[in-house]
Amino acid sequence: MPLVPATLGACGKVDLLVAVDPASPHAAAPAPPAPPAPPPRHRTAVAALLLAGAGALLGYFGARYAAVLFVPAGGGVGYKLTLLATVPLLWLLVVGIHELGHLVGGWLTGGRFLLFIVGPFQWRRTPAGVRFAWNRSLNLAGGLASCLPADDRDLPRRIAGMIVAGPLASALLAVAAGWMSAWAAAAGIHVAQHLAMIVALLSAMIFVVTALPGEVGGFKTDGRRFFALVRGDARSAQEAALLSLTVSGLGGTRPADYDPAVVAAATSPDDGSLNAIYGHFSAFSHQADRGDLAAAQAHLDRVIAGEARLPPFMRSLARAEYAWLLAIAPADPAVVTRARAWLASAGRNDFDPATTLRADAAVLLAEGRAAEAAAQARAGLHALENHSLAPVKNRFAADQLAALLARATLAASLAAGNSGARPLSA
């Protein structure tokens, strides 16, 4: 599926010591809610019925028109087990072709490569260039790709081209593999015959699942995103606004400089949909960058209220941002305790480690653990350069991490001077 995030350029330029109005929601420092419950049974049942229906169709047409291609000629149990063992590798192949289709579609419409994930493999563009990393998230192992334009000219049409190219690549692969299987069967090349048929079936399944409008694991399917862009209603306008903010952020625009009308459009209609949740995340970044922390927290509260619909890595980012927001308040012990609880609930995030490290550095500094805060700030600066999902450096994160490092280094040096220990250096 294509990744079209609206929060990759999240940033702000507020001071690390912020005067907070006691009446603001920031001062209330709510405790983190319990992790989201599993999806409702009826939603799971609908998804299962759709997948079962797709499988039934594939099974029917396979048995009706290509039964001979499924029967190993003279193959015993060992041969069948060998074929079965190839399925995971062939799955990576067909998922890779689907995601490559998105990248090609994005490139043909003037996009720039950002991300390619297939199974445990991940390539992403960072400020230091394209980097490989292991993907440790099962939620993302099903494939993710992004190739976005550098400007917002005719954006909906260009993104629609990137989106539709994934299912199109899967459909073409299914047809080509089916033809190859038939040819190999006629030629008596039975191994190629059966491997090609497995590829055809897997690719056809991916086409059906991604082309149907819906949500899977916190992501909208290709079909749902495509129709949201082209149907020309309020949701299309919201989708276009999110895309505009995403492209602006990836191009280096600070959220404080976002067009307020576009930010407002990204949160309307405010109906708890995925688009609305991502819109509030973008609005949080915009308000935090402007220094209005009360407004920023109000938008982040809306994100947390709908976090059950988000993929796990986005839930983690939202909770880490909440920890950061609380930790930069005056050092009220109760607020600091809540900030630590929010950070603990965020867990590890390999997708955007710099955000979690920034939050941890802020919380550690608020707890008076200056040396540890400095170490996390250094790690965050390194992660920002080498592991962020953006072609340009996030200036807010860099500014905040540098300020945290400077303050933590100073605090640790003062503490070391009082104790006679060797002071830290930034």
> Which amino acid is residue 172, in one-letter code?
L
The answer to which of 38-47, 149-158, 280-289 has the lowest mean pLDDT is 38-47
Is residue 324 located within the same domain as residue 424?
yes
The whole-angstrom distance between residue 253's C-alpha and the CA centroid of its chain comes to 20
Is residue 211 located within the same domain as residue 357?
no
> Mean pLDDT across the stretch 354-380?
94
> Mean pLDDT across the stretch 406-422?
77
Residue 17: pLDDT band (50, 70, 90) is very low
> Mean pLDDT across the stretch 344-348?
91
Is residue 53 located within the same domain as residue 149?
yes
Instruction: Supply the pLDDT for residue 418.
Output: 62
Let me know if residue 379 belongs to a domain: yes
| 14 has a pLDDT exceeding 70 | no
| 26 has a pLDDT exceeding 90 | no
Among residues 225, 249, 280, the one where a domain terminates is 225
Among residues 225, 243, 267, the one where a domain terminates is 225
Mean predicted lDDT score pLDDT of the chain: 80
Let me know if residue 70 belongs to a domain: yes
Instruction: Supply the pLDDT for residue 73.
Output: 47
What share of the chain has pLDDT > 90, as a percent?
Answer: 37
Instruction: Supply the pLDDT for residue 35.
Output: 60
| 63 has a pLDDT exceeding 60 | no
Among residues 202, 225, 248, the one where a domain terminates is 225
Q: Which domain holds residue 165?
A: 41-225
Is residue 203 located within the same domain as residue 321?
no
Work out how many domains the chain is built from and give that number.
2
Rounded-to-integer distance, Cα 424 and Cα 426, Å:
7
Rounded-to-integer distance, Cα 390 and Cα 385, Å:
10
Let me know if residue 12 belongs to a domain: no
Give yes or no for a contact between 334 and 340, defined as CB atoms under 8 angstroms apart: no
pTM: 0.72
Let me know if residue 68 belongs to a domain: yes
Is residue 196 located within the same domain as residue 331?
no
Instruction: Supply the pLDDT for residue 412.
Output: 86
- pLDDT tens digits for range 89-104: 999 999 999 999 999 9
Instruction: Supply the pLDDT for residue 75.
Output: 61
- pLDDT tens digits for range 237-268: 888 888 888 888 877 788 888 899 999 999 99
Is residue 181 located within the same domain as residue 57?
yes
Let me know if residue 424 belongs to a domain: yes
Is residue 220 located within the same domain as residue 341?
no
> Mean pLDDT across the stretch 74-78?
67
Is residue 68 located within the same domain as residue 177?
yes
Give yes or no for a contact between 381 and 405, defined as CB atoms under 8 angstroms apart: yes
Let me know if residue 257 belongs to a domain: no
Sign of CA dihedral 62, 63, 64, 67: positive
Is residue 116 located within the same domain as residue 220?
yes
Let me know if residue 296 belongs to a domain: no
Rounded-to-integer distance, Cα 245 and Cα 137, Å:
26
Instruction: Supply the pLDDT for residue 289.
Output: 83
Residue 15: pLDDT band (50, 70, 90) is very low
